[in-house]
């Protein structure tokens, strides 16, 4: 009888655990679906108007097409603006980061559309006294923000997310930038997406080149060098970050040795600020 009661209690305990797991799974699925729904309009615009070029290392944006669909873009941006700080704070880090990257990229496209086609670079939207990235025009998370605020405070601030690969995800509407991804970022695919964007950019020999004893890198690595030395996956310097992608870059044993000893001569290439418009 005692054994029977024990087995019944054990079975009940397993049933409760299973029910809890199913409930958590349902909640997680609902959250994923909700985020997918939130970013679906942006996803549709990217699929329609962004084209990979340069052997898929880069992408071009059909801004004329985006302008035709501008009402859809504005509706998406309005939906992002309805997310309050309290709701955002309760999200897991991948969902937060995907949201912020999508917001940055979508608002950058909208910023370009305010003057397109009468501009050759996003820099044309600034002035002698202020950069385009410092303009406060974005209603997001209960404040009016600039692109700089989203990138440097919400995304990079205090190394909150601890992931320098964000530099290959946010897009500044320029040819020198890493590609604007042809899909929206999402929490459940963020790791894969960031990794793919990093490989896309690093292996582009028009912007990053590796010789026997030297390397020529995008100016991104000069501007944000500190971010690549903050311990991501054990890397504590730019060379050690690059070594994380030694297979994708097909680095020779000799190149790997020089990077490990930080003896690889490094120069930074000029940045192309021309608009990443479809031609």
- Tens digit of each residue's pLDDT (9 = 90 or more) over 115-151: 999 999 999 999 888 999 999 999 999 999 999 999 9
pLDDT in tens, 1-27: 555 555 555 556 555 544 434 444 443
Instruction: Tell me the pTM.
Output: 0.88
Domain count, the chain: 1
112 neighbors 275 (Cβ within 8 angstroms): yes
pLDDT in tens, 229-241: 999 999 999 999 9
Q: Assess if residue 209 is contained within a domain.
A: no
For residue 151, count other CB atoms closer than 10 A to its CB: 20
In a domain, 63, yes or no: yes
Give mean pLDDT, residues 209-213.
96
So what's the pLDDT on residue 35? 61
Is residue 273 assigned to a domain?
no
Q: 26-48 burial, b if ≥16 CB within 10 A, otherwise e?
A: eeeeeeeeebeebbebbbebbee
Residue numbers of the domain that contains 71:
32-196
Mean of all residue pLDDT scores within the chain: 91
| pLDDT for res 178 | 98
Q: How confident is the model at residue 32 (pLDDT cuts 50, 70, 90)?
A: very low
Residue 212 falls within a domain, yes or no? Answer: no
The answer to whether the beta carbons of residues 262 and 211 sit under 8 Å apart is no
Q: What is the pLDDT of residue 8?
A: 52
Between 141 and 29, where is the model more confident? 141
pLDDT digits (tens, 9 = 90+) for 144-172: 999 999 999 999 999 999 999 999 999 99
Instruction: In whole angstroms, give the CA distance from residue 76 to residue 207.
Output: 32
Give the distance, in angstroms, between the CA of residue 61 and the centroid of all CA atoms in the same chain.
17
Note whether residue 6 is domain-resident.
no
Contact between 173 and 109 (Cβ < 8 Å): yes
Nearest to 49 by CA among 109, 8, 90: 109
- Quick: pLDDT tens for 41-52: 999 999 999 999
**Tell me, what's the pLDDT at 18?**
45
Tally of residues, the chain:
279
d(CA 191, CA 196): 9
* Domain contains 5: no
Res 31: pLDDT = 45
Q: Is the pLDDT of residue 106 over 80?
A: yes
In a domain, 202, yes or no: no
Tens-place pLDDT, residues 59-95: 999 999 999 999 999 999 999 999 999 999 999 999 9
4 lies in some domain: no
Integer Cα distance of 232 and 244 in angstroms? 10
Whether 72 and 41 have beta carbons less than 8 Å apart is answered as: yes
Rounded distance, CA 210 to CA 108, Å?
31
Considering the chain, what percentage of its residues have pLDDT values greater than 90? Answer: 85
Distance CA 77, CA 73 (A): 6
Helix (H) or strand (E) holding 259: helix 253-260
């Amino acid at each position: 009888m005692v054994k029977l009661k024990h087995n019944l209690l054990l079975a009940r305990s397993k049933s409760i655990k299973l029910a809890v797991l199913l409930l958590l799974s349902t909640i997680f699925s609902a959250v994923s679906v909700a985020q997918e729904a939130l970013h679906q309009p942006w996803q549709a615009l990217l699929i329609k108007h962004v084209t990979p070029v340069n052997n898929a290392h880069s992408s071009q944006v059909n801004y004329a097409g985006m302008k035709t669909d501008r009402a859809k873009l504005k509706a998406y941006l309005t939906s992002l603006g309805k997310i309050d700080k309290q709701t955002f704070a309760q999200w897991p880090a991948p969902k937060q980061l995907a949201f912020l990257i999508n917001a940055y990229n979508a608002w950058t496209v909208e910023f370009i559309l305010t003057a397109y086609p009468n501009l050759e670079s996003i820099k044309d939207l600034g002035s002698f006294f202020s950069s385009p990235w410092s303009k406060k025009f974005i209603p997001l998370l209960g404040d009016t923000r600039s692109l700089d605020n989203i990138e440097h405070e919400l995304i990079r601030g205090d190394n909150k997310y601890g992931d320098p690969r964000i530099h290959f995800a946010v897009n500044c509407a320029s040819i020198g930038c890493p590609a604007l991804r042809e899909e929206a970022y999402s929490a459940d695919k963020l790791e894969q997406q960031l990794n793919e964007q990093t490989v896309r950019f690093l292996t582009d020999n028009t912007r990053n080149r590796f010789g026997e004893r030297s390397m020529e890198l995008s100016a991104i690595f000069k501007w944000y060098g500190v971010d690549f030395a903050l311990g991501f996956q054990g890397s504590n310097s730019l060379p050690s970050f690059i070594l994380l992608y030694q297979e994708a870059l097909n680095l020779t044993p000799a190149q790997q040795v020089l990077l490990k000893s930080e003896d690889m001569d490094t120069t930074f290439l000029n940045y192309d600020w021309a608009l990443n418009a479809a031609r």
